[in-house]
Amino acid sequence: MNKKLLAFPYIVWAAVFILIPLFMVAYYGLTDKNGSFTLANLASITTKEHLKALWLSVLLSLMSTLICLLLAYPLAMILAHMKVTKTSFIVLIFILPMWMNFLLRTLAWQTLLEKTGVLNNILHFFHLPALEIINTPYAIILGMVYNFLPFMVLPIYNSLIKIDPNVIHAARDLGANSVQTFLKITMPLSAPGMISGITMVFVPALTTFVISNLLGGSKILLIGNVIEQEFTQAGNWHLGSGLSLVLMLFIIFNMVITALFDLEGEGNAL
């Protein structure tokens, strides 16, 4: 009874800041300006402009997720094999940037990548060709990878250190070489970490509008930017909410697919 009482503030919090806003998004998304029920807001995702933005968002966030996975896995393996004292230091270095404001970090990349920015000045000094990636999708991917990489490293690291070293030894003992051991034992056993890493990178990457605003200029519209503009510029809350709902359904659908895929690969539930 007492314990339930302790949860009360959280329930209030969840109701005020999670449930009610969600309900309002659903309400706005499913009504028109006169307040009558409509599916038109949801259906507007099929317009050419919106589909293009969604497609670009999916493409860029998939690529960032893949790059994060490829960068994070080796790093997590190195961390997992290190002594604890060293590990905590490196994890600290890794997490340190996260203590700085997200916007600030992304703005810093803008300054670094600008046509006359820090990076290009350095390249120019060495008479190297200038880097022209600001305001291109590449800059957005860079921003996504930079910002979301820790969310990939930590879950993979956590799942790797849970593997009993003797399980790895057992595979070697039974004749597997190091590559076979990695593919058949280490990777499947770290799948839960990879799955949560992928979710934790893919979902924010898919919905971001800050990174694309700052590093992509105003020309590249991701689905996040489209929704943001509906709210801030067009003032059409109904359409913005409708698109948000579609995006939410899309993410839930993807997570279910991922979980099912994991079920097959792993043989047990997530």
Partner 1 sequence: MGRKLIDLVHISKSFGNNLVLDDMNLYIRENEFLTLLGPSGCGKTTTLRIIGGFETPDKGKVIFDSEEITNLAPNKRQLNTVFQKYALFTHMTIEENIAFGLKIKNKSKAYIHDKIKYALKLVNLEGFEKRMPDSLSGGQQQRIAIARAIVNEPKVLLLDEPLGALDLKLRQDMQYELIRLKNELGITFVYVTHDQEEALTMSDTIVVMNQGYIQQIGSPEDIYNEPENAFVADFIGDSNIFPAIMVRDKLVKILDTPFPCVDKGFGENKPVDAVIRPEDVTLTEPEAGILDGVVTHLIFKGVHYEMEVLANGFEWLVHSTKMYPVGTKVGLFVDPFNIQIMNKPESEDEEATVIDE
- Residue 245 CB, shortest distance to partner 1, in Å, is 37
In this structure, are residues 269 and 263 in contact, taking their beta carbons and an 8 Å threshold?
yes
Beta bridge partners of 31: 37
- Residue 170 CB, shortest distance to partner 1, in Å, is 4
Closer by beta carbon to partner 1, 101 or else 177: 177
Binding residues for partner 1, rule: CB under 8 A, are 164, 166-167, 169-177, 180, 184-185, 188-189, 191, 266-268
Closer by beta carbon to partner 1, 57 or else 196: 196
- Residue 83 CB, shortest distance to partner 1, in Å, is 11
Closer by beta carbon to partner 1, 112 or else 176: 176
Counting Cα atoms < 13 Å in the Cβ hemisphere of 152 gives: 25
| Rounded CA separation 78/74 (Å) | 6
- Residue 73 CB, shortest distance to partner 1, in Å, is 17
Residues 6+ apart with CB under 8 A from 224: 57, 206, 207, 208, 209, 212
Helix (H) or strand (E) holding 177: none
Q: 22: which 2 tokens?
A: 């969600």
Closer by beta carbon to partner 1, 228 or else 266: 266
